[in-house]
Amino acid sequence: MGAYAAEGGVGVGGVAGSEEPFGLFDDGAVVQGVLNLFRRTPGPLPAEDRDTARALADATAISLLLQSALDEHRTVRAQLEKALDTRTIIEQAKGFLTARHETDPDTAFHHLRAHARHHHLRLVDLARDIVNSTTTLPPPDTDKTPTP
């Protein structure tokens, strides 16, 4: 913890201050920030106030770490939900193609994927168009373009 004094500032006269870094210190010094403390009386910070400052700094570090972890979990959850939604649409399109072309699901998927690649389409977009009946694919043994 560092101590300093500055002229002017709060009220009349000088301001004394101290800094308490916060962050992770067990596995190497990773400082996330500094808690600045100001008071009207010059001199070092009393031991009781230093302990309180350390507790506040630790609580701040824990709060920031928990918020960071929560943000990361929310991001992963959103990514997983999007992947599940995408997968659902693709599975539905496979079902449509399997029934329409009287083929197995693997062949339907390979046909869907090959058509998307050949026409530079995203697989999920093509699948959605098939499910919405805005695009139809020819049977796997022909290489015709889809009917919009």
Q: What is the pLDDT of residues 121-141, one digit of tens each?
A: 999 999 999 999 999 898 877
pLDDT in tens, 65-85: 889 899 999 999 999 999 999
What's the predicted TM-score (pTM) here?
A: 0.56
Q: Look at the alpha carbons of 54, 59, 64, 66 in this order and tell me if their dihedral is positive or negative.
A: positive
With tokens 């009917």, the residue in question is 147
Q: What are 44's two structure tokens?
A: 């070092």
Sheet arrangement for strand 2-6: 2-6, 15-24, 30-39
Q: What is the DSSP letter of 147?
A: B
Q: What is the DSSP letter of 38?
A: E
Is residue 37 predicted with pLDDT exceeding 90? Answer: no
pLDDT at 100: 92
Separation of alpha carbons 134 and 113, rounded Å = 17
Q: What is the DSSP letter of 136?
A: B
pLDDT at 10: 44
Separation of alpha carbons 91 and 64, rounded Å = 40
